[in-house]
Amino acid sequence: MYVAVKGGEQAIARSLELLAEARRGDTAVPELELKQIREQLRLGVARVMQEGSLYDEELAALAMRQAAGDMLEAIFLLRAYRTTLPRFGYTQPLNTSAMRVRRRVSGTFKDIPGGQVLGPTYDYTQRLLDFETTSPVEVSLADAPLPSNVPRVLDLLDAEALIERIEPGSDPEPIDLTREPLTFPADRATRLQNLSRGDEGFLLGMAYSTQRGYAESHPFAGEIRMGEVDVVVCPEELGFAIEIGSITLTECQMINQFHGGNGVPPQFTRGYGLCMGEGERKAMSMALVDRALRCDELAESSYAPAQNQEFVLSHSDSVEASGFVQHLKLPHYVDFQAELSLLRTLAAQHAAHLQTPPSASPQEDGKAGPDAACSQEPDPTPTLPCAQGREQFEAVKT
Amino acid sequence: MDTSPHLARAQWMSLLAQSDPAELAAAMDGFAPPADLTWLRPAQTGLYMLRGRVGGTGPQFNFGEMTVTRCSVQAGDHIGHAWVRGSNARHAELAALADALLQDGEQNPSLCRDVIEPLRRALHRRRDEASRKAAASKVEFFTVVRGE
């Protein structure tokens, strides 16, 4: 519990002034234009859009500038802003098969129909700081464009029935976590919405843990594609579908080993990741975690953190996580006073007990021996909650 | 070819939304808005929830939202609508106006010639260039045969 604290208005006003001054920096240096952020920090803009769960480059650039480059703060600003806008509806499902591909690679097949297209990637850079100012680059043009519908790599395996097929089925209306709370167990569509909004660092760590043995998914990057996808809506006023623009997406299809079971023959299974803008690390992490979270559906033994959907989905959101961690800065004066008072009482009792001669108690009460006095003392080796948790974890594991 | 009466309109509405707002404004410059123009729904920015499919082809999931600006205008007997990605009100207004004018049989041919066709060519040129740039980074593998 914390109580309302009055006063401090002037100090808060001064703090906001200091924040504004610090954000702007040296006024002799021109202020960043949103267009500069959008054009030259596009990967940062993409991350803020993805985790802010709002595709709008202008707003994401504005949030980054206002947050002075603190990405989590920018994500928070975008999430807060979206609540002020009316919801017009739901788009038709994005058709990533018809993506106008600018990058497309596979870690499983060398010769894929349509070819491996590297596109703009840091993969082949030396990671050496370049102190030269960047000058405009003359980009090479191929004689012909890429095919308009680049086939999916996983369809090659599908032809041999060696990979699970994913079809819409009855195409149920998915749960929308912006309108309904997260409940467990969460189905795969709900989990994917949560992971889409999830913090890249958290998902990267979780994904890494699955590769290091905390889940048995044995992954291959079947296909990663990046490019532009049309957004199609069907407004009631029209009664027919129209394109309303295009967005950049990165999609990752992970292929994972599966030995069969539950009446299913041995075949590869899939993990799926989708990300706004160029977000390969996020899309790959999402795909690995998506696959790990399918352990129950595939009747796999489940013991690792990345397979525990309550653990993963409850802690993936950076806005919630940073809010709860940082709320500790708020006044907890009354809470702390109560704790302080309790601790002073206990310390006084402890001191009084040490000063009492051990022989005194048996004379006062014949039934109470030294053992009784000892039982008042705190256990010298208490079982810590984390130690208990570890025991439970080990028990589940074996 | 689909003969649905909505097809042509869906195509021009899609193109107007996909076009560069500055190019659209320049193309529409030659068309004076009619005097009896009524903005039924002034440009308003809101959200559409983007939907994806699990695995790209499976059941739907809610992926994240996107800003969209919509606008409706009446010009004579015709009502023009627009939905465009982003928060650019001018883009939505121009697209709605063009939609209304394109529905008018008299004005349709000149708008198709001076607005729709140039925008279509510009969009195609941009996409073609982006695709050729990507295609230039296509890998040509030379297999190193092992153990044969």
Which tens digit of pLDDT belongs to each residue from A301-325?
Answer: 899 999 999 999 999 999 999 999 9
DSSP string, B59-100: SEEEEEEEEEEEEEEEETTEEEEEEEESS-HHHHHHHHHHHH
The per-residue pLDDT for A396 is: 43
**How high is the pLDDT of residue A154?**
87
Q: What pLDDT is attached to residue A383?
A: 43
Q: Is some CB atom of chain B closer than 8 A to the CB atom of A297?
A: no
Taking the C-alpha atoms of residue B84 and residue B67, their distance in angstroms, rounded to an integer, is 9
pLDDT at position A370, please?
A: 45
In 3D space, the residue among A301, A303, A305, A263 whose CA is nearest the CA of residue A288 turns out to be A305
For the segment A255-265, the average pLDDT, to the nearest whole number, is 78
Instruction: Judge whether A86 and A102 are in contact, CB under 8 Å.
Output: no
% residues pLDDT > 90 (chain A): 68
Per-residue pLDDT at B93? 97
Tell me the two tokens of residue A115: 């070819």
Is a pLDDT exceeding 50 seen at residue A90? Answer: yes
* Beta strand pairing call for A87-90 and B37-53: parallel
pLDDT at B3: 46
| Best CA proximity match to A192, nearest among B66, B49, B53 | B53
Residues 68-107 of B with CB under 8 A from A: 68, 70, 72, 81, 83-87
Q: How far apart are CA B60 and CA A146, in angstroms?
A: 28
Number of helices (H), then strands (E), in chain A = 15, 6
H or E element, residue A18: helix A9-24
Other Cβ atoms less than 10 A from the Cβ of A294: the count is 19
A323-361 burial code (b ≥16 CB/10 A, e <16)? eeeeeeeeeeeeeeeeeeeeeeeeeeeeeeeeeeeeeee
Asked if A251 is an interface residue toward chain B (Cβ–Cβ < 8 A), one would say yes
Alpha helices in A213-357 (DSSP H): 280-292, 309-315, 318-326, 333-355
pLDDT of residue A355: 87
Higher pLDDT: A301 or A181? It is A181
Flag whether residue B50 sits within 8 Å of chain A, measured between CB atoms.
yes
- Amino acid in position B66: M
Query: What share of chain A in percent tops pLDDT 70?
Result: 88
Q: How does DSSP assign B90-112, residue by residue? A: HHHHHHHHHHHHHTSTTTHHHHI
Asked if the C-beta of A241 comes within 8 angstroms of chain B's C-beta atoms, the answer is yes
| 8 Å CB contact of B54 and A272 | yes
The answer to whether residues A298 and A262 touch, using CB atoms and an 8 Å cutoff, is yes
Q: Of the candidates A56, A143, A239, which has its C-beta nearest B87's C-beta?
A: A56
Q: Of the candidates A142, A166, A247, which has its C-beta nearest B66's C-beta?
A: A247
Give the closest-approach CA distance of B9 to chain A in angstroms.
Answer: 9
Q: What band does A104 get if pLDDT is binned at 50, 70 and 90?
A: very high
Domain residue spans of chain B: 5-135
* Predicted pLDDT at A368: 45
pLDDT at residue B145, as a whole number: 63
Residues lower than pLDDT 70 in chain B: 1-5, 141-148
User: DSSP code of A91?
Assistant: P
Contact residues, chain A, for B10 at CB < 8 Å: 240-242
In b/e form, how buried is each residue of A211-246, taking b as 16+ CB within 10 angstroms? eeebbbbebebbbbbbbbbbbbbebeeeeebbbbbb
Q: What is the pLDDT of residue A216?
A: 73
Q: What is the mean pLDDT of residues A196-201?
A: 98
Q: What is the mean pLDDT of chain A?
A: 88
Q: Does A235 touch chain B (CB under 8 A)?
A: yes
